[in-house]
Amino acid sequence: MTNLELKARKDAATPRGVGVMCDFYAARAENAELWDIEGRRFIDFAAGIAVVNTGHRHPRVVAAIREQLERFTHTAYQIVPYASYVELAEKINRRAPGNHPKKTAFFTTGAEAVENAIKIARAATGRPGVVAFSGGFHGRTMMGMALTGKVAPYKLGFGPFPSDVFHAPFPNALHGVSSADALHAVEALFKADIDPARVAAIIFEPVQGEGGFYPAPAEFVRGLRRICDMHGILLIADEVQTGFARTGKLFAMEHYDVAPDLTTMAKSLAGGMPLSGVVGRADVMDAAAPGGLGGTYAGNPLALAAAHAVLDIIDEERLCERATVLGDRLKAQLEALKVDVPQLADVRGPGAMVAAEFLVPGTHEPDAAFAKRVQQRALERGLLLLVCGSYANVIRFLFPLTVEEPIFEEALGLLDEVLKECVGAIA
């Protein structure tokens, strides 16, 4: 079977709404490499959208899943519980930011985690309102889309969305939005759109993912904490993409000197298995009535086994430290390339959550065409890269933190060549 033959079958059997980036089909993968059904090799700097921080098929993850597979695959935790759920909750409670007592509930997807965080916040406060931010991405469910601050492609044709969701601008120094501007906009919402006494939660990403890998400045996060404390609002950190060593910390909120009330997690929590969760203040987490939280597949035992292995791998292979080392090397190379690549306007991101933003030289106009050209040329050379940002003018780098040194060096060399080739193609 060829990639072209399978594409024809895909087009006939699946809807166009499920967008697919690559025109080839995966056959196997190992750590930071994958091969298609025709035998072509690719270096994976997408990691399943930050899902395999511990690499494809890490031996310890595979072994943990296999061991659990021999015991049982499903009972539904709400029907017949199992120890691995409780044990993983205990580990997360100990390690999540904040000195307060915590509790954790597990779900299946990041969107589910966000939905349940909002449910918990509303149950705990008795309030309906939620404040989110432009450029934020919180999932594809109806509430997730309502919270998401980007219309195309996520909201097109799907409204109306849940009410009592409000958006403020996210700080973005490159595009002229300061932390003070963003915090003032939140306060302005309370004057123009919703009484703060009706707001259950403010939700934000410590580093915006789909929005362009913009880190939240420390003064902005402190300001959100101050606003929440002043008005009895809960602060939710959406760490679906930032969690599990990606930013150089287990949780990105560890970079700040304040803690959220609730944290959502998913993606790299279980090394490729579908698992998500919400961790937060014990009193807040207990607000929902029995039966109010859960799901048929929530806390699947195979995924939980993988997650236990992932936490061990992060600790024993020092992946938080490695994320910072590798991310610094990538950022240094990108900074050096600014001399040869005038479109490269900004290089940013904590740890290995690195982004390169492209603008039309001499302007503040997003250069989506150049970003797309870089992505496409890299793909032709065997390097998988993802585009993000409200204007699709940002390349984000999400390599597995376990990537072997020769593979990482090969990828950096390819990236260097691709960026210079794309500039040359314009000249």
At 214-233, the pLDDT tens digits run: 999 999 999 999 999 999 99
Element (H, E) at 163: none
What is the spatial distance between Cα 138 and Cα 208, in angstroms, rounded to a whole number?
Answer: 10
What is the spatial distance between Cα 288 and Cα 125, in angstroms, rounded to a whole number?
Answer: 11
DSSP3 helix / strand / coil % (the chain, rounded to 5): 40, 20, 40
pLDDT value for 56: 98
What is the spatial distance between Cα 242 and Cα 265, in angstroms, rounded to a whole number?
Answer: 8
Mean pLDDT of the chain: 97
Which among 235, 244, 284 has a CA at the least distance from the CA of 263?
A: 235
What is the spatial distance between Cα 54 and Cα 34, in angstroms, rounded to a whole number?
Answer: 14
Residues of the chain with CATH 3.90.1150.10: 3-57+318-426
Residue 344, pLDDT above cutoff 80: yes
pLDDT value for 425: 78
62-316 CATH: 3.40.640.10
The band of 424, judged by pLDDT with boundaries at 50, 70 and 90, is confident
Phi/psi of residue 293, nearest 5 degrees: -120, 155
Residue 67, pLDDT above cutoff 70: yes
pLDDT value for 427: 60
Architecture of domain 3-57+318-426: Alpha-Beta Complex (3.90)
Residues of the chain with CATH 3.40.640.10: 62-316
Residue 152, pLDDT above cutoff 90: no
- The residue-averaged pLDDT of 109-125 equals 98
Of 223-232, 274-283, 416-425, the range with the lowest mean pLDDT is: 416-425
What is the spatial distance between Cα 179 and Cα 170, in angstroms, rounded to a whole number?
Answer: 8
What is the spatial distance between Cα 283 and Cα 339, in angstroms, rounded to a whole number?
Answer: 53
- Going by C-beta distance under 8 Å and a sequence separation of 6 or more, which residues neighbour residue 123? 287, 288, 289, 292
Residue 411 has a CB neighbour count (10 Å cut-off) of 24
Report percent pLDDT > 70 for the chain. 100
The band of 209, judged by pLDDT with boundaries at 50, 70 and 90, is very high
What is the spatial distance between Cα 197 and Cα 248, in angstroms, rounded to a whole number?
Answer: 36
- The residue-averaged pLDDT of 390-394 equals 95
pLDDT value for 191: 97
pLDDT value for 172: 95
What is the spatial distance between Cα 425 and Cα 61, in angstroms, rounded to a whole number?
Answer: 43
The band of 57, judged by pLDDT with boundaries at 50, 70 and 90, is very high
